[in-house]
């Protein structure tokens, strides 16, 4: 999956599909045998940044019984829609049954063929019918099949809208005013928005450098726990951050290492709330989890930095360093 997101040039295609057939969970970024060094969340964001729709056919063979739960969680995440709905292009093949696998292959093939050949009106009509069929479904198996049909239609509609948007040079309004709930009323665990922050290429370069420095200090901090925050303060000073701010800081975020453009966001992160006291209280495993998270996000930012297709120069700007990228909140430290 990481290879598809980072090594293949998808810029010449409108409908972009990735099909993964697997019977085992993915290796997370902290695993020494991981080929990409990316966590599953980061791989998902990298695939989304290329406009890829990821189908996963998960063979739940008896031999991998102990791995099924973690694998399903990972692949539902990777193949999830970019709308906070929790829907995913995930198909499970119980017991790795050959006939069930054949049916899944036929379903995915037909879905993709339909997505690429039918017009926009078809998907609008089918969307209403699919929602009605899902509402009428009684058994768990029938609900699962109807949900898969609905998911495929939604992907087809999204592909058509993207294609016509490019062909007709349609853009979103420059600004609009509205209200929206940040959680689904029916399920408070489901977010309704995919929030992103527009960062310039220069800002991302600065953020990458700051995260590299934080990563170095954190690795050293495992060897000398008591000096962790003092080393962060020294790093902030070396990077030209405000001496007054450094002296008064008690958390990583207050040091100003990652740029003031993150300060006023109405969101808080565990990373930026790290203090000397919290670091000392961390177990070795928790410290390593913190380090792995920083390293994985750093690699994802590097992928964003190198993905020239999604950089946008705003009106009146011609400096490449002032091109902007919509960075997902969960990719920020």
Q: What is the pLDDT along the chain (333 residues), one digit of tens a residue?
A: 888 888 888 877 877 889 999 999 998 888 888 888 888 888 888 888 888 889 999 999 999 889 999 999 999 989 987 665 667 889 999 888 899 899 999 989 998 888 888 888 888 898 899 999 989 988 888 888 888 888 888 888 887 877 777 777 776 666 667 788 877 777 777 777 778 888 888 888 888 888 898 888 888 877 677 788 888 888 888 877 778 777 888 888 888 777 676 777 777 777 888 888 888 888 888 888 888 988 888 988 888 888 777 788 876 667 777 888 888 888 888
Categorise residue 236: left if φ over 0, alpha if ψ from -120 to 50, beta otherwise: alpha
Q: List the structure tokens of 257.
A: 């290492």
Give the span between the Cα atoms of 301 and 327, in whole angstroms. 8
pLDDT at 75: 93
Give whole-number Cα distances, 114 to 45, 53, 117, 304, in Å: 26, 14, 5, 31
Question: Is residue 80 within 8 Å of 44, Cβ to Cβ?
Answer: yes
pLDDT at 21: 95
pLDDT at 33: 83
- pTM of the model as a whole: 0.62
Give the span between the Cα atoms of 98 and 71, in whole angstroms. 20
pLDDT at 72: 93
pLDDT at 85: 63
Pick from 68, 69, 112, 67: nearest CA to 89: 112
DSSP of 150-199: HHHHHHHHHHHHHHHHHHTT----S-------SB-SS-TTSBS---EEEE
| % helix, strand, coil for the chain, step of 5 | 55, 10, 35
Helix (H, G, I), strand (E, B) or coil at 87: coil
pLDDT at 25: 93
Give the span between the Cα atoms of 124 and 232, in whole angstroms. 54
pLDDT at 84: 59
Give the span between the Cα atoms of 225 and 279, in whole angstroms. 7
Q: List the structure tokens of 128.
A: 């209403």
Question: Is residue 238 within 8 Å of 209, Cβ to Cβ?
Answer: no
**Strand pairing class (324-328; 196-200):** antiparallel
Q: List the structure tokens of 264.
A: 């006023």
Give the span between the Cα atoms of 331 and 126, in whole angstroms. 35
pLDDT at 95: 86
Counting Cα atoms < 13 Å in the Cβ hemisphere of 159 gives 24
Give the span between the Cα atoms of 301 and 207, in whole angstroms. 9
| H/E element, 328 | strand 324-328
Q: List the structure tokens of 25.
A: 């969970």
Q: Which residue has the tokens 């495992």?
A: 222
C-alpha gyration radius of the chain:
22
Helix (H, G, I), strand (E, B) or coil at 316: coil
Give the span between the Cα atoms of 247 and 237, in whole angstroms. 10
């Amino acid at each position: 999956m990481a290879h598809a997101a980072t090594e293949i040039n998808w810029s010449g295609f409108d409908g972009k599909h990735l099909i993964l057939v697997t019977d085992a969970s993915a290796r997370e970024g902290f695993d020494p045998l991981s080929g990409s060094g990316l966590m599953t969340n980061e791989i998902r964001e990298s695939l989304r940044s290329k406009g890829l729709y990821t189908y996963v056919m998960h063979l739940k063979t008896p031999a991998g019984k102990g791995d099924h739960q973690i694998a399903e969680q990972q692949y539902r995440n990777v193949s999830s829609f970019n709308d906070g709905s929790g829907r995913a292009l995930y198909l499970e093949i119980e017991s790795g049954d050959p006939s069930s696998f054949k049916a899944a292959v036929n379903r995915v093939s037909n879905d993709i063929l339909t997505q690429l050949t039918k017009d926009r009106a078809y998907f609008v009509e089918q969307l209403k019918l699919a929602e009605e069929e899902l509402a009428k479904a009684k058994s768990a198996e029938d609900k699962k099949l109807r949900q898969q049909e609905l998911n495929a239609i939604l992907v087809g509609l999204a592909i058509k809208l993207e294609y016509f948007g490019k062909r007709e040079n349609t853009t979103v309004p420059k600004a609009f005013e509205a209200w929206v709930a940040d959680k689904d009323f029916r399920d408070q665990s489901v977010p309704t928005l995919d929030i992103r922050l527009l960062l310039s290429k220069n800002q991302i370069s600065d953020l990458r450098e700051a995260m590299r420095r934080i990563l170095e200090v954190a690795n050293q901090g495992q060897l000398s726990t008591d000096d962790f925050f003092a080393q962060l303060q020294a790093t902030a000073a070396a990077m030209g951050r405000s001496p007054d701010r450094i002296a008064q800081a008690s958390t990583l975020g207050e040091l100003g290492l990652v740029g003031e453009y993150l300060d006023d966001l109405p969101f808080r992160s565990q990373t930026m709330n790290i203090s000397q006291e919290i670091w000392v209280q961390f177990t070795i495993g928790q410290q390593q989890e913190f380090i792995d998270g920083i390293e994985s996000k750093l690699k994802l930012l590097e992928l964003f930095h190198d993905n020239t297709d999604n950089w946008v120069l705003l009106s009146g700007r011609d400096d490449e360093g002032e091109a902007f990228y919509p960075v997902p909140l969960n990719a920020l430290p």
